[in-house]
Structure 1
């Protein structure tokens, strides 16, 4: 079955787990041209040429994704082996935020140039990641019907899909820990099928990134990376797992884009509310089962997710992802074979929507002001996350800090420049 971005987003968007590693005190250880609304976005000729050129081999992108990520992991391991603690604490935080920033920057920059109409965008992105042998013969015309879904509806559907996916994951966790043998087997079978589908999706997205940078034998190389991530113990495979998760996050961010600032703000508000509720809420059902897995699988040491983290819905899913083999959804750092720092993919995917809107507006205005402001806002939001005490040691709703700061940065920059972002 040909994978569709629409299906993938609905089934796998629970990557928005927002646990953050702790610091020593209480955390886990270390205008003149206006576009008409709701119409497909079309770039001027010169800008369209630039957008087409962006698909050509990009060595800088390749180095950042496929070389800098494992190189940074190697530096962390060397610092850990030498017990250089203060630089280690700083570098591992910079490392994990740098990966998230890459997703926000690349996902936003590409998303800003993608078609604004939902169906047209999904069709374009699906054709981009399909193998060359399938792309010409695959009928994706039915996706065009999604162009009728306006961005107000999308603003409601995105948080709803995220919440539904989280509930599905929690349901599978509850079934997997139930007393009935048949129920446990059914839950295990469903989880295995989902893992197989996710592995295939990761391979497709990773292959697309490799092809984008002109890598030879991209299909075979992507298959090797996916196999390595799933078959090699996480203590050694986690840098490759991060690369796959970043490819996944970029593709998802491009699928979920807004060209209506009011709709974007509404979706962001709902996502922030969801993030806070899913971290702050208590989930006694998952605490015992998942908390035990946290101690046994992730290592009950400073820096590993605790049973307190597993008591929240989002924490329960996060701990399960960390303790039951490779399950995409988290950017992570492992030192000495144990989890040290984690950051949910949602904390980079959803900020990339703000960055994508800013890029789209800059392209329409033939200038570059809002996109840098959005990235700066992301950096400030990450810094605020580091300064926050967290909620009962169970994790941090990072979107509470990141999304409002990014939106305010975009809005303030537009106001200073005399632009009206609500007119895009």
Structure 2
């Protein structure tokens, strides 16, 4: 056999050993015996291990008919090595036998011969403690001295685990990083957790319901800087920062003088009615979202200007900007929806009213030309400029909307006092 064929041969054995979700010391021992029998190097076994774990791998035919029969015999030896021929292992073996083209009678004969060889005096087994090769009838391991009474299945190592169908699941591999030990401790305290060996490394999985995202975030902090980590949302792999992007902001909130007001931007002398700085849609005159809409003529004579907010676009912008922070435990989506609902669908624009024109230095798509008569120091002149939206005259308008929104969703009045009495400089 060529080196590539030897890798494929061994990959078939590795695949059948892993199909039941765990690999026992005796299954590993049987694979290593086959490796030596076909004259393959340890590097070939490592490549075979990687190949067998690749997505969509299935045992394939290798070499001549006699080599394929030998491969089938070794696959059966691996399957029977732990003393139990699992149904999952039987399915793989039967499928491989069909590919070769042997009859059921021939397969039964091969099974009988393999079982007989495993019970022969020359057969060896693996120590469940140190994996050393020992005589099948030995009571203690000559290498480590441990008792050989521990069953092979009890010493088996899991090679896979299932990602929960719902909730937040985090998985990571063993590492030399400073936070690894603490990460393992936190993972084992999760409502659902598991570990397995993949690619010669131990991997850990911990899962929480979405409402316990704060606990998952504690583990994520310990995994900062580690390369081999993944996060799953409802069994779908997601980008790390799309799930835990809120952590840095949440930490800043925890150290803020008034944490509740932090989210609304009050500590930075600005107001965010959505309850999250990362919405990037503050209640300020220069905010771009006050241009999301269009002008129309209003009033009895249709000479007044009214601005109609495009709430679909505002919602889209909010969803886009807050996507990375959607799991933040401090983000109140009901409040956001209430603010958007209470925001007027349209407002009248008047230089002396609550809403004024948003001035632009040049004509923009969708903008209108405004001509206003201005009187200053006894002189009058016409001020001409373009406008693409509106500006709120004071924060009071936004605060009134926010107060109504809080009344809709409920809230602790003591926590709202500083926020609802906010005034800009």
Shorter-normalised TM range: under 0.3
Query: Normalising to structure 2: TM-score of the pair?
Result: 0.22
* TM-score of the aligned structures, taking structure 1 as reference length: 0.22
Q: Which has the higher strand share?
A: 2
- With CA pairs under 8 Å and 6+ residues apart, which has the higher RCO, 1 or 2? 1
Decide which structure has the larger Cα Rg and report it: 2
